[in-house]
Every structure is written in structure tokens, then in C-alpha cells.
A and B are shown apart, each in its own frame.
Chain A
Amino acid sequence: MSHRSSRLLRRLLLAAPPVIVTSILMSSPALAATGLSPLLPNAVSPNGHRLYELYLLISIPAIGVFVLVEALLLTIVIRDRRRRQRPGYVPPQWHGNTRLEIAWTIAPALILVLIGYLSFAELQRDFQHPSDSVTDLDISVQGHQFGWTYTYPDNVQVTSEGLGAADRPLVVPTGKLVRLKLSSVDVIHGFWVPELMGKTDLVPGYDNYTWFEVPQPGEWRGECTELCGAGHSTMQLRVKAVTPDEYSDWLAQQKAKAATPSPSASASPSPSPSGSPSASPSGSPSPGGSPSPSPSGSARPSPSPSS
């Protein structure tokens, strides 16, 4: 079998370059705008960007295995057809080959251990709860059917309902490590802004954390990723990054609005604008105040969680 294996190897080496070249070409950003991206979103936040790099790394053995196995299958389809063989051909009656079988047990295992190691390194790096010392800003994100309530320091609250997310983005300063505390008051929701970082669930009963750091101003879309009821697809999400100066102005403006509630205010009134510096209201939902499901996808009044 050894001469066959070496022929195989040669075939693989011949097949690999075109595939790799094609995959690099495919990664051109032009495709991304057409809905045909073969690659993970190349996120702007450093943690999201490292997911993209890990995805590329995994693709190297993945494409190799794909090409190898499909080439073997095609070889059989083309070469070993009965039609193409001389009549009376009796195929070799192999029952097995221990060395080969061990080889194709060990080789995939090694590749997988390598992928596992790379993934674990990334987990340790970016999926630990970021410490207070590196965190620049804490924002609490609370999910409800079908929108989000963002609570900034000094209890400034902004509530975005359903498709209104475009007007009520989660505003963050650029160049700062923003730590999000995620919780839910009713069912499970998912917080996902693909161009920033991976998703994290908002589960009633406990808090989850995620973080990102946006280098440049801009706006990014996202939406709820955990089926949460009839209005699930309307539960849109937007993140808007502005310069730190603009951010402080915006925050002051929201605070002023909260102090003098007006019906047309773009932010929900906060119950205690000059209250404690604690960034988050109580994360545990109160049973009596749990909202009832909204049968239509229309926006509902904010549940206005209070501290």
C-alpha cells in the first residue's frame, strides 16, 4: 500500500495550491457585500478579530482534509468503475491493514488536538471576565421581549424597542474597553454584533459578561439570536461608536434629559439620575413585574427596571 500512499500524497500536493489560492481570492471584501462571504466577519474589536484569525487557521487543515477526501472519492469514481475494467477483474480482497488504520486514527487526532490547543489559548485570552483594572467602561444590557435597555454609569438608561434600534443605538466611546453585563427580565435572548465580537446569551437569573473595544467611529448592526417569541426578528440591535469627547457630551445630554423628562425624549427617564454611581440596577427580575408576552411584533412600553 505504500506506493499508493505516496501517489496519494503527490495528488494532494498538486491539488492543494489551487484550492488555497482560490480561498484567498474568495476572501476579498468585495464578496462580503453580496451576502456570499466565505469567511467569518472580520470584526473591528481586537477580540472579534482574533476569532477571525482562528477561523482562518482552522481553515488550513479543514481545506486540506476536504480536498484529500474528495480527491480519493473522485479517484474511485473515475478509476475503479467496473465499466472501465477488463472483464473478469478480481479486486484485491483486503480485510484491513492495522498500520494504515492506526495512521488514520492518529493523524486526525493530532490535527484536532492542535486546533483544540489554539482554541483553548484564545478562550483563555478573550473569554475570561475582563478585570476591573483593564475595563474602561461598564454598561449593563438588559434584554426583554423585544428590545434592549442599556444602563450607563450614573444610571443613565436608554431603551431600544424592536425595529426602533436604529434611533436608539448602544453608544460607546472609541478606544475604550467596554465591558457589558448581560441579563434578561423574561426569556433567553442573544446579544450578537457580528462585526464586533461573538455572541453571548442573556439568561434570566444570572449575569453574563462580554467585552469589546472599538478602534474607530462607526455603526454596526446586530440582533437577538435566541428565538424569544413572535417579535424575535424585530429585536434589532445597533452599536454606535463615537469619540470619547462626543460620548461624554452625549452622556451629559442624556442625563439632562432624564432630569427633566419630556415625552419626546430620546432616552427613557431614569428613576434616580443623581443616584449611586453603581452602573447597574438590580439584575434579578422581580416575579410580579415580569412582562407578559407580546403577541404582535410591535414595540411595547419599556419595563423600566428600577434599582
Chain B
Amino acid sequence: MATLAPPRPKSYDDSFFKPISLWLTTTDHKLIGIMYMVTGVLAFVIGGIFALVVRLQLTTPNAKVVDAETYNQLVSAHGTTMIFFFVTIFMTGIANYIVPLMVGARDMAFPRVNLLGFWMIPVSILIYYMGFFTGGALNAGWTGYPPLTSKQFNPGLGVDLWALSLIVWAISGIMASTNFLTTIIALRAPGLKLTRLPLFVWAQISTSILLLIVGAPLAAALILVEFDRQFGTNFFTTQGRPVLYQHLFWFFGHPEVYIMILPGFGMISEIIPVFAKKPIFGYGSMVGALFGIVFLSMAVWAHHMFTVGMNIYVETFFMIMTMLIAVPTGIKFFNWIATAWRGSVEFSLPMKFAFGFMATFLIGGITGVYLSSVPVDTQLHQSYYVVAHLHYVLFGGSVMTIFAGIYYWFPKITGRKLNETLGEWHFWTVFVGFNATFLVMHTLGLEGMPRRIATYPGGFGEEGWGATNVFITIASFLVALSVLIFLINLVTSWRSGEIAGDDPWEANTLEWATSSPPPPYNFDRVPPVRSFMPLRDLRAERRAGGEPDPEPAPTTA
């Protein structure tokens, strides 16, 4: 049986340097997953460089690091890159690698759709960045509100390339979602009933449902933007209803936040039980909370629009819905805490990042409640308070879970562990650097500094912003340093890290039953599944000595 074999890291070609032809044509979900993840990390680096230029520009009043037009392009590119090309893509990649293994499948349900869906992503990214070489990329913020993106105010190619890029991205996302759902429903191993699915797989189900529903409205909104620009229609122009675009965009845009965080929630739900040596607390309520979030997240979009002048009763509806979404998130939080409570907790690197995630994401959740209150939001909206809030949710949330996931699954993917010393340095620099950057940033918003301003003149009472901005810029370079440490760790550990073995963490789920890295066909034999922790059952049986009774596989699975 594969799980009993000694570590065999070289039995399968685990080096990144495979023939180009293999990378271009493979339909193996693992190689596609790696390509997704590498694309995501590259986008993370590019988006991070944009952010550093932005920070340099904001360090002092009237700075001239870049001019205002370039600045607007950089903030737009930073947002688009991080949201569309890094976090979502990385999450898709890690799920592409792990989900088929977790359900005991050989590959995704539609391997060639998977291949096509992946290759649309580099195309989408290149289309967007082409803007920089054709007279200027999108300069209206990542949200691209018309009429600023209409032909009249934005005659260049940047907006067209942005719209095309995201339409391609949305189609790719719809392909991936369909593929995940089919894989999870149709290709589960015998015995892996829905009630025994790992929570990461449940998270991927909810994410896929969300992206399936909201991907098309995004594409629709952008097609209408292009109609306005190319064919002279008046959907969102000065003569049309610019706010209609905001409704369409945020109907995608807010669920997108959950598309970026739900897989992270799934990872945390996998990691905490393993490192606390306890089963997940409240499996049923965890799954219920996921679907509560899916449902509510599609009824909160207009909370991004509390200042456009809506009817107060409509605003109240969106306010209450937004507040209620804190309830399922709270259930997940308390269940995670209860899972680790009185556990035998080992703070290995994945667990460190999981706790770092909980400590910081909590702040993003709490500031979200302030923002959901319509009256308070009219003060906080479009200020640096919102910038701080969204980075607490996306960086302290999604990115921390991505780090946790990488430290957790890197041994499975490469057969090697990430270096512990570099990992400790990475964790502490990113934790301190991130909080120093963004906790202080809340106060700028409360002082009245709006977001997306290329500079601030000083002399209007903004003198106080200067010192705070200097501090934030310095702290942001600490975050950059942490990412550098992380990248060095990735590269060196991939080449020469400590051999991990098949199941280095004594984990619970099926992906650890096969070799590290898994062979192209994934499993020699899928172990029997009798609970949501099949590997733990397997270890217990092995310790008890006897060969387990084979349970008849339920056909309902």
C-alpha cells in the first residue's frame, strides 16, 4: 500500500523543470494547479511592486515619484492584479491541486476544460498589462466606475483592454467552477458521502457556486461598458444611469470578496484540527455557515453604494444583510476556537499562519460592522479607513490563509518541507509589517484622507497625515521584505528542502494517503472512507494492528 512505503521523493519527477511541451499540454490537475499557483505568485510580486510605488508616492505631501495619471493607473493595476490575478487565481490553483486528491479522484472531471481555463488566465493578464504599452492602462480604480470609463472621459485603449481582460477572466472562472462542482459531485471515492467531505472541499463547493452565479453579471457589465464605448449606447454614460453599473459590478464585486476568502476558511478548517489533534468542532454548523455566507453575500452588494443617494429603506435592507453576514462568519470563528480549545496545539508554521489569520481577520470583520452602518459609512466610505479594512480582510484574511495553505501543502506538492527558520522569519516580518502598515492606516481615514488621491497638498490641515504616511511606507517595506524571504524559501526548499514523507503532519484527509508528490494517477489504492477523517481512522487501525473490515461502499455517494 502506498501509504506504507518509505518516502520516495524522486520516484515521480518533482522538479519544476519539466519539458516546455509537457507544461503547455498537460491536463494533469496537479501540474495545472502548480501553474495556477505560480501565476498567482508572480502576480502577487507584480501587484506588490505597484503597491510599493504607490506607498513611495504617498510618503510626503506633494511628492512627485509618479505623476497623477500614472498614479491612477498604478492603483487600478494594484487592485486588479491582487484581486483578479493573484488571490482568486492562487485559490483556484491550490484547489485544483488538492480537491481531486481530497475526494480520491484521479483528475478533475473535465481535464481539457481545466487546461483551457488555465491558459485563459495568462492571456487575460497579458491583455490587461498591454494597456501600459499602448498609451496607458485603466486609470479609474479597479472598480472602473463610469462615466469616468466612458469614451468621452477616457479615450485611450486602457479601459477596453481592462474590460476584455476581465471578460476572459470571468469565462475562465466559470469554467473552473463548473469543473470543481462536477468533480466533487461525481468523482468522490467510495464511502466519501457529502457529510464526510473535508471542509476545504465544502468551501470549494460554495466558492464555485458563487463564481458561477456572479461571473456572468461581471462580464455583462463590462460588455455594456464596451457597448457604450464602441457603439455609442448610453447605458452608463452621463446621459444614462452610471449607478446601474455600480449595482452590476458590486453584485459581482462583493461575492468576489467571499470567493477570495471562503477557500481560505476551508484551509483553516483543515489546518486547525490537524495541529490541535482534535476533530473540527461543529462540522454541520461549519457547512451551514458557508452556505449562509453564500446566500447573504449576494444580498449585500449595495453597501458599497451608501453615498450614491438611495432610498433609506433600501439602504437599511442592505445594512441589515451586511451585518447579518457577520453571524455565519462568527460561527466559523468560534468553531475554530473551540476546535483548538484544550487541544494539544503544535505551532508549526501552518498553524502560526492560521492563528495570525484569525487574529488579524477579526479586525477586518469588526471594522466591517462599522462600515455596514449606513450613517457611519457616510463618513468612512472612500477613505483610508476602507483601504485599511479591505486589506485586513484580503491580506490579513485571504493572503494569510494562502501562506498557511502553502506551508501546509508544500510537502505534498513538492515532497519537501519549507525551511523552518526562513518560515519563522517570514511569519514574524509579515505579521508585524502587515499590522504596522494597516492598523495605523485606519486613523488616516478617520482624519479625513480619501483613498485614491495621488497626493495631498498640505496646508489644508493635512499636515498630520505626513508622519503617519511615512510610518506606513516604512512598514510596507517590511511586508515586502517578508515576501522576499518567503520567495527565497519557496525556491530553495523546492530544490533542496528536507524530505517530507507522505504524511508529515499526521493529517486527516485523503491527499495525505498517497505519495508526496503524488503520482500522475494520484492513488495506488484509495483507502476506505468511514468518516470525515479517513487518514486518522487509518492510523488508528494501523496502531490497533488489525486490517480494517472493508465497509461496503455506499452507492449514493
Contacts and interface: CB of A to CB of B under 8 A. Distances in A.
A109 B440 contact: no
A132 interface: no
Nearest to B234: A287
Contacts, number: 300
A231 B68 contact: yes
A198 B378 contact: yes
B122 interface: no
Contact of B330 (A104, A116, A230, A287): A104
Interface string A72-106: 11001100111001000111111111001100110
Interface stretch (A9-17, A35-43, A245-253, A254-262): A35-43
Contact of B319 (A38, A109, A119, A233): A119
Interface stretch (A120-128, A148-156, A170-178, A268-276): A120-128
A167 interface: no
Nearest to A48: B379
Contact of A226 (B68, B145, B345, B457): B145
A205 B240 contact: yes
Interface string B429-450: 0000000000010111011101
B139 to A, nearest CB: 8
Interface residues of A, number: 103
B552 interface: no
B347 to A, nearest CB: 7
A39 B464 CA distance: 15
B152 A236 contact: no
B452 interface: yes
A283 interface: no
A208 interface: yes
Contact of A201 (B276, B309, B316): B309
A interface SS class: mixed
Interface residues of B, number: 98
A227 interface: yes
B312 interface: yes
* Residue of B239, B315, B375, B444 with most partner-chain A CB within 10 A: B375
Contacts of A96: 281-285
Contacts of A279: none
A62 B370 CA distance: 9
A166 B369 contact: no
Interface of A: 4, 32-41, 48, 50-51, 54-55, 58, 62, 65-66, 69-70, 72-73, 76-77, 80-82, 85, 89-97, 100-101, 104-105, 108-109, 112-113, 115-116, 118-120, 122-124, 126-128, 145, 163, 166, 185-188, 190, 192, 194-195, 197-201, 203-206, 208-209, 221-234, 236, 238, 285, 287, 290, 292-293, 295, 297
Interface of B: 67-69, 72, 139-141, 145, 147-148, 152-154, 238-243, 276-279, 281-285, 307-309, 312, 315-316, 319-320, 323-324, 326-327, 330-331, 333-335, 337-338, 340-347, 355, 358-359, 362-363, 366, 369-370, 373-383, 440, 442-444, 446-448, 450, 452-457, 459-468
Nearest 10 pairs of A and B residues by beta carbon: A198-B378, A35-B464, A194-B448, A233-B453, A208-B309, A119-B373, A96-B282, A35-B468, A112-B323, A225-B382
